[in-house]
Amino acid sequence: MSRTAIRGHRPRLLGMVLASLAIVATGAPVSAAVPGWTGPAVIGTGSDFEVRLGVDGSGWLHLVTLDDDGLVYRTNEGGTWRTTRLWEEERPYQDDLDVRVDRGGNVYVAWARGCDCDDLYHVGIWYLTNAFGGPNDGWPATPTVLVNGDAEAPSLRLVDFRVHLAWVQGDRIWYGTNATGAWTQAAVSPKGVYADDPSLAVAPAKTARVAYQSSGIVYALNTGTSAAPSFRRETIADACGSAAAVDPSLALDSHRRPHIAWACTTPVGATAAPAPWTEWPDGTYYALRTASGWTRAAKLSRLGAWPQLLLDGNDRYHIFDGQNVISDASGSSVATKVTPGGQIHLWTASLALTVEGKGRLVYDAGKNLKLMAER
């Protein structure tokens, strides 16, 4: 969950490893694990993955994982899974990877590079894309450094092949872009006020929005330009009570209205939280900003840990809370349990939607990467 005072190290909820599941290698899974979904299918092997997934306009999956040796790109484009090693290094810390995939199947990756040292910090945010080709299976030979220094928690968006990025540096949220041709950046959160966990959305092309945690959930809108960003901020009534509001996930609908999901958690010690939790989950919440302001926060799940919010083409939400996919695609909010047992490692799971609004969930099941697919 939220970052500790130790530089660059953010312990997350340590969920129980999933129970043994049916395994298939590639192609169609042999059985439906839950109504409306097929799987799980094994799509990779290893351990302790951090996973980020995207789906292109043809339905092919593109994912980038962080393992003990660095970054790996995996795709089933063409019908067969293949892997490409993108970058070798000592593994960075959790929740320091973000991936975007456009409809044409171009992949964009930002990550906070870890320091090969005893201290816990990062040495910048790096960036790779295969949109322009390169010698490594279409990827360039070396990454681009977007941000220097001890920066982390990147949230990446691409508009017309231009980078938009939010990140944490010096306990502040920052935003940067090369939309004007040169890199410009500005602080989103005020100096001297702790902030964490940025989630970025951009629409129209020059208007960035950032949700982040800072004594509640804050929504910030760029009222300046890409060349000179300037952010107006407002705090959302989070409904967490004495618990902490953390881990916002931001998305914009077709009317450019912001939707935010977030978690409420209580640190271990404040309540009798059982092992192996580092923070007690108090629920996943959701709110939408309309012309009259933010709607009342709705509690969608009793779990609360780094929810992932996506909107489909009909502006319906799909939220993964670590165990369920919660969706109002049918007109009312329905939670479907897509993983058995306890809540899984949240940084090791990623939800994406097809053009048709069907969910694709990839997660680390201990020694395997597994895929669940909504029918």
**For the chain, what percentages of helix, strand and coil (3-state, to nearest 5) are there?**
0, 50, 50
Q: Tell whether the model's pLDDT for residue 24 goes beyond 80.
A: no
Give the per-residue pLDDT at 94.
54
Give the per-residue pLDDT at 27.
36
Question: In Å, how far from its chain's centre is CA 124?
Answer: 19
* Per-residue pLDDT tens digits for 305-317: 789 999 999 999 9
* pLDDT category of residue 204 using cuts at 50, 70 and 90: confident
Pull the structure tokens for residue 99: 């991936």
Average pLDDT over residues 193-198: 96
In whole angstroms, give the CA distance from residue 265 to residue 152.
Answer: 22
Give the per-residue pLDDT at 287.
98
Average pLDDT over residues 155-176: 96
In whole angstroms, give the CA distance from residue 66 to residue 99.
Answer: 11
* pLDDT category of residue 220 using cuts at 50, 70 and 90: very high
Give the per-residue pLDDT at 281.
73
Give the per-residue pLDDT at 277.
45
Q: Which residue has the higher pLDDT, 313 or 30?
A: 313
Q: Tell whether the model's pLDDT for residue 300 goes beyond 60.
A: yes
In whole angstroms, give the CA distance from residue 364 to residue 345.
Answer: 8
Give the per-residue pLDDT at 364.
85
What value does the mean pLDDT of the chain take? Answer: 84
Average pLDDT over residues 139-152: 94
DSSP SS3 for 347? helix
* pLDDT category of residue 90 using cuts at 50, 70 and 90: low
CATH 2.130.10.10 fits 37-374, yes or no: yes
User: Residue for token digits 């909504």?
Assistant: 374
Q: Tell whether the model's pLDDT for residue 123 goes beyond 60.
A: yes
Q: Tell whether the model's pLDDT for residue 58 goes beyond 90.
A: yes
Give the per-residue pLDDT at 26.
32
Average pLDDT over residues 224-230: 95
Q: Which residue has the higher pLDDT, 87 or 33?
A: 87
Give the per-residue pLDDT at 161.
94
Residue from 187, 335, 221 nearest 289 by CA: 221
Is the four-CA dihedral 310, 312, 316, 320 of positive or negative sign? Answer: negative
In whole angstroms, give the CA distance from residue 211 to residue 63.
Answer: 24
Instruction: State percent of the chain over pLDDT 70.
Output: 81
Give the per-residue pLDDT at 25.
28
Instruction: Give, in order, the Cα–Cα distances in Å from 87 to each of 62, 68, 274, 369.
Output: 16, 11, 37, 19
* pLDDT category of residue 265 using cuts at 50, 70 and 90: confident
* pLDDT category of residue 67 using cuts at 50, 70 and 90: confident
In whole angstroms, give the CA distance from residue 362 to residue 53.
Answer: 7
The torsion angle over the Cα atoms of residues 77, 83, 85 and 91, rounded to 10 degrees, is 110
* pLDDT category of residue 45 using cuts at 50, 70 and 90: confident
Q: Tell whether the model's pLDDT for residue 266 goes beyond 90.
A: no
In whole angstroms, give the CA distance from residue 246 to residue 352.
Answer: 21
Average pLDDT over residues 38-65: 90
Average pLDDT over residues 265-290: 70
Give the per-residue pLDDT at 212.
98
